[in-house]
Structure 1
Amino acid sequence: METGLSVLIGLFFAVSVYLMLSRQLVRILLGIAILGNAVNLLIFTSGRLTREVPPLIPEDSYHLLVETANPLPQALVLTAIVISFSFFAFLLVLAFRAYQELGTDDANEMRVAEPVDEPAPPQGY
């Protein structure tokens, strides 16, 4: 199970890097979303996928008697899902607004696109 998920995580990382190297903003945004999912799967897989007992300590003991499930990767993945969704929503609005202002979704054309009523930036850098 962990071997299959490791291959899937590697595939997700490869696809996300390929999409983020594209010139279109929609592909870049999809690459960022897939990268977030790959990181979530990586964190979840690193926390072991075996079925174990819940991490509850009996009343008469001060430490765990048996091997238990680790709740930390689950909490990290839950937090990462919320953060990656809000980051993706912000980038989606930013890309839409840039498309409205500049009239293109090509990253290379966005660099040279200038509004008609504003002067060009200085060229000495």
Structure 2
Amino acid sequence: MESKRQQKFAGVIQKDLAEIFQREGLNFLPNIMVTITKVRVSPDLAIARVYLSFFNSTNNSLSLNTIKSHSNEIRYKLGNRIKDQVRIVPHLEFFLDDTSEYVEKMDKLFEKIGKEPRQADESGQDD
């Protein structure tokens, strides 16, 4: 269970990282929109786990690895924004948020189930 302090700090990081990706994300990933879906912060506020989703990306794993390779630069830019609010800038860990892919998969399964013909009652009795 996250404390209010962790949640508030995660919100600040999410907002500032979103602005960084909006302004400078094209430098890392041209023609790909990066969305920060969730940020979780460790109790000591030293580690921030950032969950990302990519729009217009053909290879999400490659996009995630590109972001990871620029993590020091992204952390530096984040530090410039939040330096007056925190003692230490957290270490950033990036993860792929595949929630939308999961929802899409489940929708297809439910659609497939809905199209299957209903089986007749096995008892064969008419009421």
Q: Same fold (TM over 0.5)?
A: no
Give the structure with the higher percent strand: 2
Asked which structure has the greater CA Rg, the reply is 1
Give the structure with the higher percent helix: 1
With normalisation by structure 2, the TM-score equals 0.28
With normalisation by structure 1, the TM-score equals 0.29
